[in-house]
Amino acid sequence: MLAEEAGQDFSPFNVVGWHGNYAPYKYNLDNFMVINCVAFDHADPSIFTVLTAKSLRPGVAIADFVIFPPRWGVAEHTFRPPYYHRNCMSEFMGLIKGRYEAKEAGLQPGGGTLHSCMTPHGPDFNCFEKASNCKLEPERVADGTMAFMFESSLSMAVTRWGLQTCSRLNKEYYQCWQMLRSHFTPLQQSKK
């Protein structure tokens, strides 16, 4: 087996029948057709949605499954990495392989992050500095990488095991933003 493979003796697809309309489905994420920003500004991550579980409320998903595959970055006059934000959805993000562009050192393959509803988050300090000072020319983004995100209108919680027992819990995660400084300089109001 390769270092990036896992094996098991049983599969949930190994069943005699399925209930109702449920059916097994396997999809190669490398086949996903990437849609991307080609002018300016960072597009909303919904352009990377692979599957959506609808809710009864129009425009509100119970869950979206999103991937961040390899692609070209060509936006001009802008900050290309994912922007700083908070949303009304909860986001669980994970890294399957490679290095995630917004936290190259902070998220390891097999690892994940949870940003609950209205929790501000975005790229770490190193990503901000690199993206703020680089020459904006066409570049490949996330080559050799596959990251995913589950975004849900429902609240998500970490299990007691995850909070108290897991030896890999990064309690210093928030520090990736500690060195960020405000660059906002409001224009002086013109005197009348």
Residue 85 labeled ligand binder: yes
For 29-159, give the CATH class: mainly beta
Active site members: 42
Please give the residue that has the higher pLDDT: either 3 or 33. 33
pTM: 0.76
**Using 50, 70 and 90 to split pLDDT, how confident is the model at 18?**
low
CA distance 23 to 182: 50
Please give the residue that has the higher pLDDT: either 121 or 7. 121
Residue 95 has pLDDT above 90, yes or no: yes
Position 15 scores a pLDDT of 67
Residue 121 labeled ligand binder: yes
Position 90 scores a pLDDT of 93
Tell me the pLDDT tens digit for each residue of 115-137: 988 888 888 899 899 889 989 89
List C-alpha distances in Å: 121 to 11, 44, 87, 117, 178.
Answer: 36, 14, 10, 11, 12
Position 189 scores a pLDDT of 57
Residue 71 has pLDDT above 80, yes or no: yes
Position 145 scores a pLDDT of 93
User: Would you kindly state where each structural domain of the chain is located, as residue ranges?
Assistant: 29-159
CA distance 11 to 17: 14
Share of the chain above pLDDT 70, in %: 89
Residue 180 has pLDDT above 80, yes or no: yes
CA distance 174 to 121: 9
Residue 183 labeled ligand binder: no
How crowded is residue 2: how many other Cβ atoms within 10 Å of its Cβ?
Answer: 5
Residue 100 labeled ligand binder: yes
Please give the residue that has the higher pLDDT: either 55 or 84. 55
Helix (H, G, I), strand (E, B) or coil at 26: coil
